[in-house]
Amino acid sequence: MFYEPKNGHGLVRDPIKACVVPRPIGWISTISQEGVCNLAPFSYSNLMVTAPPIFMFSCNGAHLEGDVKDSALNARETGEFVYNLATWEIRDAMNTSSSHVGRSEDEFELAGLTKASSMLVKPPRVSEAPISLECRTWKTIDLPATKPEIQNIMVIGEVVGVHIADEALKNGLVDTAALRPIARLGYLDYSVVDEVFVMPRPK
Ligand SMILES: Cc1cc2nc3c(=O)[nH]c(=O)nc-3n(C[C@H](O)[C@H](O)[C@H](O)COP(=O)(O)O)c2cc1C
């Protein structure tokens, strides 16, 4: 089949998210200007370049209490956010933290997670996550939106601090399969990375 998104797909459900898979889950912690901690997962997220490491996540759609989701609002207003790695073990907490709740609600508490202090930025890390990246917002970009009432925003930040749990390292390398990171597919589907293969680059 071929379709142009502006004309609709004609399928039972929108397939677009199933076309770009698997997507890493950026589990983003921020703090509001009022000091409320916030945590939410974003599968429109990735590392963009390595030197310096630049990470991005995107918020689409509206928030309960306004047009911008808390994570983008906080990262834009305070200039800081933290990426946390979502793994199989803490998948339910990750999912709970995606609840659409008011701006004054702390999703760490909602999801029963523990805060760990960051070294260089104010937002706490998810202590249960084996990897966290402390980021300073570099730029936010408004993306096109199909309806005037929704705001799509990309948040781009420089990774200024990297936390890797000692247990996550084996012979000096991150043992990805042992961490069992989870990733988003289309619809409500997820994938878990528990098998890794190596493919050397061509000369
Ligand atoms: C696995 C997963 C991935 C998600 N990815 C995104 C995403 O990429 N962009 C987005 O706007 N919402 C995404 N959501 C929904 C947000 O997490 C949800 O809207 C959340 O309430 C936003 O919280 P905030 O307003 O505190 O930022 C995702 C939810 C889940 C469970």
Q: Report the mean per-residue pLDDT for the chain.
A: 96
Distance between first and last Cα of the chain: 37
Is the backbone of residue 35 left (phi > 0), alpha (psi -120 to 50) or beta?
Answer: left
Interval between CA 198 and ligand 1 midpoint (Å): 32
Q: How confident is the model at residue 190 (pLDDT cuts 50, 70, 90)?
A: very high
Domain 24-189 of CATH type 3.30.450.20: no
Does the beta carbon of 41 sit less than 6 angstroms from any atom of ligand 1?
Answer: yes
Could you read off the pLDDT of 85-125 as tens digits, one per residue?
A: 999 999 999 999 999 999 999 999 999 999 999 999 999 99
Atom 7 of ligand 1, residue of closest alpha carbon? 42
Residue 65: predicted pLDDT: 67
Average pLDDT over residues 165-178: 98
51 CB neighbour count, 10 Å cutoff? 5
| Residues 28-85: tens digit of each pLDDT | 999 999 999 999 999 999 999 999 999 999 999 877 666 789 999 999 999 999 999 9
Helix, strand or coil for residue 167? helix
Residue 89 backbone dihedrals phi, psi, to 5 degrees: -60, -35
- Residue with the smallest CA separation from ligand 1 atom 14 is 42
Q: Does 151 sit in the ligand 1 pocket, CB within 6 Å?
A: no
User: What is the reported pTM?
Assistant: 0.97
